[in-house]
Structure 1
């Protein structure tokens, strides 16, 4: 049986600053929605919508603990971001090396 298709990609999911902050909170430890909501001037319903988007992208998972649902970061999906950003890190490293070489080999106009 194959894994279910994700409704949102990682890039869409992290596009919102609130969702990025939620990920940072969950990186510290698992949290219920009540604890997550305390960090924002938003309703629990709004936070719940953000959590659903993060869950649909595979960035968070949830599990029932007693009467509450606890959310957990799923960092494996962030590898896609890391790989994408690594390309541009190499790109800028190459560009900066070329600039350095140009500056060092350009005669001083004085």
Structure 2
């Protein structure tokens, strides 16, 4: 059974491309997350884009692995629940993480 995950894209008022994830990201849906990240990178025309994880309640190693190929191109928005997971995984040393 797959965990509930909703993925949406759009642009902020400043023109930045945003991929918003809501729900849980685990091995059951990490491929969909990875596909959405690749699409966001393409749609942002190679410019840095935002991955909004403020609606994510759970993120496992499969979700972290999906993020790794994009760390040079993303800015992450995270909650106090997910932020430490990203930091412990070493993503804070590779990309920008903003707490919400």
TM-score range, shorter chain: under 0.3
TM-score normalized by the length of structure 1: 0.26
Task: State the structure with more CA Rg.
Answer: 1
Please state which structure has a larger fraction of its residues in strand: 2
Please state which structure has a larger fraction of its residues in helix: 1
